[in-house]
Chains A and B, each alone.
Chain A
Amino acid sequence: MEYEITLMTLAGIAVIAALGLNLITGFCGQISLGHAAFYGAGAYGAAMLTTNGVSFWLALPAGALVAGALGLVVGLASLRVRHDFLAITTMGVGFLFIGVVRQQDALGGEMGIYAIPDPGLGRLGYMVLVVVLAGLVAAFSLYLKRSWMGFAFDAIADDEDTALMVGIDVARYKLAAFAMGTAIAGVAGVLYAHEIKYIGPDSFGFPESIAMLAMVAVGGIGSVGGVAFAAVVMTVLPHWLQVVAEYKLLLYGALLFAVMRFSPGGLAGLVRSWRTRAGGFRIAATGKVEP
Chain B
Amino acid sequence: MLAFELIVQGLIQGSIYALIAVGLTLVYGLLRILHIAHAALFTLGGYFGVLVTNATGSFGLAIVVAMVAVGGLGMLVYRFCYEPILARPPHVALIASIGLFIALEEVFRLVFGPYGISYTAPPLTATVVVASMNLKQAEIMVMAGVIVLIGGLAVLTRRTRVGIAWRATVTDPAMAQSFGVDVIKVRYLNFFIGSALAAAAGVMVALLNNLVEPTMGSVPSYKALAIIVLGGLGDVRGTLIAALALGVVESFGTIYLGTILDRDAIAFVFLIVVLMIRPQGLFGKT
What is A's interface to B at a CB cutoff of 8 Å? 25, 29, 31, 33, 77-78, 80-82, 84-85, 87-89, 91-93, 95-96, 98-100, 102-103, 206-207, 210, 213-214, 217, 221, 247, 249-250, 252-261, 264
Write out the residue numbers on chain A whose beta carbons fall within 8 Å of the beta carbon of B261: 96, 99-100, 103
* Pick from B34, B100, B259, B271: contact of A253, CB under 8 Å: B100
Write out the residue numbers on chain B whose beta carbons fall within 8 Å of the beta carbon of A260: 85, 92-93, 95-96, 99
Give chain A nearest CB distance to B267 CB in angstroms.
7
* Pick from A84, A96, A254: contact of B233, CB under 8 Å: A84
27 A-B pairs, CB-CB below 8 angstroms?
Answer: A29-B91, A31-B95, A77-B272, A77-B276, A81-B229, A85-B275, A88-B225, A88-B229, A89-B271, A92-B271, A95-B219, A95-B264, A95-B265, A99-B263, A210-B98, A213-B98, A214-B99, A221-B91, A249-B105, A253-B99, A254-B103, A256-B102, A256-B103, A260-B96, A261-B96, A264-B85, A264-B92
Q: Does the CB pair B272–A89 fall under 8 Å?
A: yes
Write out the residue numbers on chain A whose beta carbons fall within 8 Å of the beta carbon of B263: 99
Type the 1/0 row for B101-118, where 1 means its CB is closer than 8 Å to any CB of A. 111111100100000000
Q: Does the CB pair B103–A253 fall under 8 Å?
A: yes
Write out the residue numbers on chain B whose beta carbons fall within 8 Å of the beta carbon of A77: 272, 275-276
Residue count of chain B within 8 Å CB distance of chain A: 48
Q: Does the CB pair A91–B222 fall under 8 Å?
A: yes
* Pick from A80, A95, A98, A99: contact of B279, CB under 8 Å: A80
A249-B102 in contact given A77-B272, A260-B85, A261-B85 (Cβ < 8 Å): yes
Q: Does the CB pair B100–A95 fall under 8 Å?
A: no
* Pick from A31, A259, A261: contact of B94, CB under 8 Å: A31
Write out the residue numbers on chain B whose beta carbons fall within 8 Å of the beta carbon of A256: 95-96, 98-99, 102-103
Q: For the complex, what is the distance from the CA of A69 to the CA of B88, rounded to whole Å?
A: 33
Write out the residue numbers on chain B whose beta carbons fall within 8 Å of the beta carbon of A95: 219, 222, 264-265, 267-268
Q: Does the CB pair B264–A99 fall under 8 Å?
A: yes
B90 on the A face (CB < 8 A): yes
Give chain A nearest CB distance to B205 CB in angstroms.
18
Q: Does the CB pair B107–A261 fall under 8 Å?
A: no
A254-B99 in contact given A80-B279, A260-B93 (Cβ < 8 Å): yes
**CB nearest neighbor in A for B270:** A92
Write out the residue numbers on chain A whose beta carbons fall within 8 Å of the beta carbon of B271: 88-89, 92
Give chain B nearest CB distance to A200 CB in angstroms.
15
Give chain B nearest CB distance to A221 CB in angstroms.
8
Give the top 9 A-B pairs by smallest Cβ distance, nearest first.
A256-B99, A99-B265, A253-B102, A253-B103, A257-B99, A250-B106, A92-B268, A260-B96, A99-B262
Q: Does the CB pair B262–A102 fall under 8 Å?
A: yes
Q: Does the CB pair A252–B260 fall under 8 Å?
A: no
Q: Does the CB pair B98–A81 fall under 8 Å?
A: no
**CB nearest neighbor in A for B260:** A103
Q: For the complex, what is the distance from the CA of A100 to the CA of B259, rounded to whole Å?
A: 9
Write out the residue numbers on chain A whose beta carbons fall within 8 Å of the beta carbon of B265: 95-96, 98-100
Type the 1/0 row for B37-50, where 1 means its CB is closer than 8 Å to any CB of A. 00000000000000
Q: Does the CB pair B105–A253 fall under 8 Å?
A: yes
Give chain A nearest CB distance to B216 CB in angstroms.
14
Write out the residue numbers on chain A whose beta carbons fall within 8 Å of the beta carbon of B91: 25, 29, 31, 221
**CB nearest neighbor in B for A248:** B106
Q: For the complex, what is the distance from the CA of A119 to the CA of B265, rounded to whole Å?
A: 34
Write out the residue numbers on chain B whose beta carbons fall within 8 Å of the beta carbon of A25: 91
* Pick from A80, A85, A258, A259: contact of B229, CB under 8 Å: A85
Give chain B nearest CB distance to A154 CB in angstroms.
13
Write out the residue numbers on chain A whose beta carbons fall within 8 Å of the beta carbon of B219: 95
Q: For the complex, what is the distance from the CA of A256 to the CA of B91, rounded to whole Å?
A: 12
Give chain A nearest CB distance to B38 CB in angstroms.
13
Q: Does the CB pair B94–A87 fall under 8 Å?
A: yes
Give chain A nearest CB distance to B186 CB in angstroms.
22
Q: Does the CB pair A93–B102 fall under 8 Å?
A: no
* Pick from B102, B226, B275, B279: contact of A252, CB under 8 Å: B102
Write out the residue numbers on chain B whose beta carbons fall within 8 Å of the beta carbon of A206: 218
B121 on the A face (CB < 8 A): no
B149 on the A face (CB < 8 A): no
Give chain B nearest CB distance to A152 CB in angstroms.
18
B54 on the A face (CB < 8 A): no
